[in-house]
Structure formats: C-alpha cells, structure tokens
C-alpha cells in the first residue's frame, strides 16, 4: 500500500515566495526523508528527520515531523527558479528492513 | 556519501527484447537497491541486492522478469526481460541505509516500442 501521500500534487508559485509541501504516512517509522528529482532524473537527498525530532533546518529548507499525526511538511523559503522539481517524502520500511517507501510526490514549479 | 554511475541513461528498445542496466559505486556497499518509476508516478522498490546471495524481490516483482546480479561490493546489474510497453519507466539504483539516507544513480529512462 502507498505509504506516503504528498499534498499538493502540484504547486506553482512566484520566485521569492515560500513553498510548503505536506506528506502523510501510515505506519510507524524510524525516520522520514525528503528527496528532490529534476526532470525525471536521479533523486537528490535533501534532509532526513528522525522520529524523535520535531523540526530540522538545512539552508532554505525546513522540515517538520508530527508522529502523532503521521505527517511531515517541507518548507522551501525564498524560492528560486532552480527549485523547480518534484519533491518526494520517503520513509523507512520498518522492522529494520532497508530501502524506502515513497510518497506520490509534489511537482513544484517556480515562476520567474 | 557514495557516488553512483548508472548506465545507460536512456534507451529505446523493441518489445520482446531485454535490457541490462548497470550501476557502479565508488565505494564498497553491502546492499544495493533497484527502483522503478513509472511515468508520472512515484518510485517503487523492485528488489534489494546483497553481494553473495540472491536478491530479495518485493511483492509484484519476480526474478524471471527482473534478474539482478551482484558480483562484488561495488557493482550490480538489473535486467528487464522480455520487455513490453508497460515496462517503459525510469529505473534507478540506490545505496545507503535508513540511518543515514540514500544516494541514487541518475536513472535509466527506458522506452519500449
């Protein structure tokens, strides 16, 4: 079954604005990760937040995690045209199993 | 983090044929992962490849269709066999772990005609 569900599926904003994407998941997790994919290419790891963390920052990225609601959000501040990409949340598969379960992704378009 | 070289980057293949995708890692890794991303969709784990043992396949994926080799700790191949247009996808390899995160290859965009 699909673990993560991103919301919204597509988002278009003006350059300089903030972009917020949300992710929900179904099972208990050890951590949650966010990845970026440009034009159907390989994925770039953005940030990892552990289940005992509530918020994490990396440059213009801010991730929150609410394990009680089984949800996470990714905020990109001061967006740039180069941020145009698809963003996926992914969770570990639990039980010590490696590999990831991905959400459906949010396609972000930054209008110049 | 590890650097992965994946090839080919794209290919157009005739139905009924097979394509082998290669991933080379710049360091030794215990596990390598293969994912499929169908058009407009998210990534789905195909299998986990450990060196020295048979790959472990996820539900919905079988060895006859997606044979995997893992001859050493830095290299793996995924073959897509007897292809049909439904196999048109991006295929990605990955290394890492749930503790530290994962690195992905640049992907192979496969089109079956």
pLDDT category at B1 given cuts 50, 70, 90 is confident
pLDDT category at B94 given cuts 50, 70, 90 is very high
A4 vs B contacts (CB less than 8 Å) = 42
A·B CB contacts under 8 A:
63
Across the range B70-96, mean pLDDT stands at 96
Place of tokens 């994962």: B102
User: Checking phi first, is residue A55 left (phi over 0); if not, alpha (psi -120 to 50) or beta?
Assistant: beta
Q: Any chain A CB within 8 A of the CB of B98?
A: yes
- Residue B25 and residue B74 in contact, taking contact as beta carbons nearer than 8 Å: yes
- Paired tokens of A19: 């972009």
pLDDT > 60? residue A62:
yes
> What DSSP assignment string belongs to B59-92?
TT--TTTS-EEEEETTEEEEEE-S--GGG-EEEE
pLDDT > 60? residue A60:
yes
Mean pLDDT of chain B: 95
Residue A3 Cα, gap to closest chain B Cα (Å): 11
Asked if B42 lies within 8 A of A30 by C-beta distance, the reply is: no
Asked if A100 lies within 8 A of B103 by C-beta distance, the reply is: no
Nearest CA in chain B to A5: B42
pLDDT > 60? residue A2:
no
pLDDT > 90? residue B45:
yes
Nearest CA in chain A to B108: A41
Question: In this predicted model, what pLDDT tens digit does every residue of A69-109 receive, in sequence order?
Answer: 999 999 999 999 999 999 999 998 776 678 899 999 999 99
Strands A106-111 and A10-14: parallel
How far apart are alpha carbons B79 and B46 in whole angstroms?
12
- Residue A9 and residue A59 in contact, taking contact as beta carbons nearer than 8 Å: no
Nearest CA in chain A to B48: A99
Residue B51 Cα, gap to closest chain A Cα (Å): 15
């Amino acid at each position: 079954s699909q673990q993560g569900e991103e919301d919204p599926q597509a988002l278009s904003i003006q350059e300089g604005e903030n972009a917020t994407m949300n992710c929900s998941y179904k099972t208990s997790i050890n951590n949650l990760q966010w990845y970026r994919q440009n034009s159907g290419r390989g994925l770039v790891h953005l940030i990892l937040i552990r289940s005992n963390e509530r918020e994490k920052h990396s440059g213009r990225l801010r991730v929150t995690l609410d394990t009680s609601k089984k949800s996470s959000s990714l905020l990109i501040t001061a967006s740039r045209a180069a941020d145009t990409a698809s963003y996926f949340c992914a969770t570990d598969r639990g039980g010590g199993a490696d590999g990831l379960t991905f959400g459906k992704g949010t396609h972000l378009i930054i209008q110049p | 983090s590890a650097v992965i070289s994946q090839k080919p980057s794209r290919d157009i293949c005739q139905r009924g044929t097979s394509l082998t995708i290669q991933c080379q890692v710049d360091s030794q890794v215990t596990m390598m992962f293969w994912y499929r991303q169908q058009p407009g969709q998210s990534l789905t784990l195909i299998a986990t490849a450990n060196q020295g043992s048979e790959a472990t396949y996820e539900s919905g994926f079988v060895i006859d269709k997606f044979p995997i080799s893992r001859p050493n700790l830095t290299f793996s191949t995924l073959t897509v066999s007897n292809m049909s247009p439904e196999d048109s996808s991006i295929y990605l390899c990955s290394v890492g772990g749930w503790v530290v995160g994962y690195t992905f290859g640049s992907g192979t965009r496969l089109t079956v005609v």
